Each structure stands twice: as C-alpha cells, then as structure tokens.
C-alpha cells in the first residue's frame, strides 16, 4: 500500500521502510484473522473440550478482527488519496458498496454460528472475511502491485517464463486438487475426545 521508494528506476529506500504503524496494524490484523480461522476450524473439526475451548476463543477473535478490519478500512483512504478516490467517488461508491456490506453480513453469520454452535458456519464465514479483505485490497490498488509505481504489467515475467509456468500449472493443478480432495475425504468428520488420526 505504501509503495517503495524508487529513483531513476532503482530501489532507493532503506532496510526498514516497511516498518511503519500502518504495516504493523496490517500484520496484527493478519495474525488475528489466522487465529480466528484456526479457532473456527478446531470448532468445526473437534468435539468435547477442544471444540468448546476453540468456540470460546472464536468470539473475542472475531470482535478483534472486526476492529482490525475497521481500523485498516478507515486508515487506508485517509493515508492514501488514490484509495479514497477509488472508493468514495461516484459511481465507484455504489459499485463497491457490496464489499463492506458483505463483510458485515459474514461477520454477523460468523457471530451467530459461534453463539448457536453451528460448527461449520463460523469457519466458512471467517474464510469469507479473509477473501473479502483481500478483494478490498485488490480493488484499492489495481492495477498496481507495488503502488504507486509498479503495475501488474511492469512486474510481469517474460512471456517464455509465463508459458513455462502455465504448462507446469496445467500439469500440477489437477494433482494438487485431487490430493486435497483425498486428504479432506480421509479426515472428514469430527475428532471425538480420546480419538486421533493414526
């Protein structure tokens, strides 16, 4: 979001340019989000004391994540004019309004799932919160990868490298997808107290 300092096409920044209050907030937000996903995953996949403890952790983690999302969402347009122009100028404001509305809806769904012990709902809502947060980041920065100077096209590899990667992806993606489906099938269901996978 903050970009990198470039002079005459070369990096001119320092080793700790990344270390700012904004980047620390984003880092803390990421850790809180991962903790929420972990807690809701454990709630979904375990029974007994482990599942109950995970559910007890999930509610405060959800509240902390929503505070983090709000802080980043307020700080970003205040600190970066290009982001404010992207989100708060008509008609973009109308087009992009579903993102924060869906974020609130997913947070509500996650909260309800935690409170009513609907074990799978909180996990999928937490994943949805992550995806919407990343979508907001992409919308805020597109087409830049390292704002405000390095676009997707500037950072793209040579066409020969892209073709090589495409071939590798076409060959490996079905294998990875099949393995993932197999693992989820093998470890389906909940782990009961005293059980384990062997």
pLDDT of residue 193: 81
Identify the segments of the chain with pLDDT beneath 50.
none
Evaluate the CA torsion angle 154, 155, 158, 164 in order and state its sign.
Answer: negative
Query: pLDDT tens across 66-82, in order?
Result: 999 999 999 999 999 98
Which helix H or strand E contains 124, and what residues bound it? Answer: helix 120-141
Rounded Cα distance between 131 and 36, Å, is 14
Give the pairing type, strands 150-151 and 10-11: unpaired
Quickly tell me which residue has 């676009």 as its tokens: 151
pLDDT of residue 190: 85
Q: Which residues is 5 bridged to in the sheet?
A: none
pLDDT of residue 146: 73
Q: Which residues of 114-126 are buried (b: 16+ CB within 10 A; e: fewer)?
A: beeeebebbbebb
pLDDT of residue 6: 72
What secondary structure letter does DSSP report for 46? B
Are 40 and 27 spatial neighbours (Cβ–Cβ below 8 Å)? no
pLDDT of residue 136: 94
């Amino acid at each position: 979001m903050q970009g990198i300092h470039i002079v005459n096409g070369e990096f001119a920044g320092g080793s700790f340019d990344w270390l700012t209050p904004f980047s620390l907030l984003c880092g803390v937000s990421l850790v809180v989000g991962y903790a929420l996903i972990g807690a809701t995953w454990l709630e979904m996949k375990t029974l007994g004391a482990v599942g109950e403890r995970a559910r007890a952790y999930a509610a405060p983690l959800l509240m902390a994540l929503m505070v983090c999302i709000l802080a980043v969402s307020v700080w970003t347009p205040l600190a970066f004019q290009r982001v404010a122009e992207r989100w708060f100028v008509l008609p973009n404001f109308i087009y992009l309004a579903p993102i924060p509305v869906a974020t609130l809806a997913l947070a509500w769904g996650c909260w309800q799932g935690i409170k009513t012990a609907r074990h799978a709902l909180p996990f999928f809502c937490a994943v949805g919160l992550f995806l919407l947060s990343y979508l907001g980041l992409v919308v805020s920065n597109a087409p830049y990868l390292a704002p405000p100077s390095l676009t997707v096209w500037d950072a793209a590899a040579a066409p020969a490298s892209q073709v090589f990667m495409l071939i590798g992806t076409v060959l490996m993606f079905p294998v990875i997808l099949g393995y993932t489906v197999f693992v989820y099938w093998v470890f389906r269901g909940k782990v009961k107290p005293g059980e384990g996978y062997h």
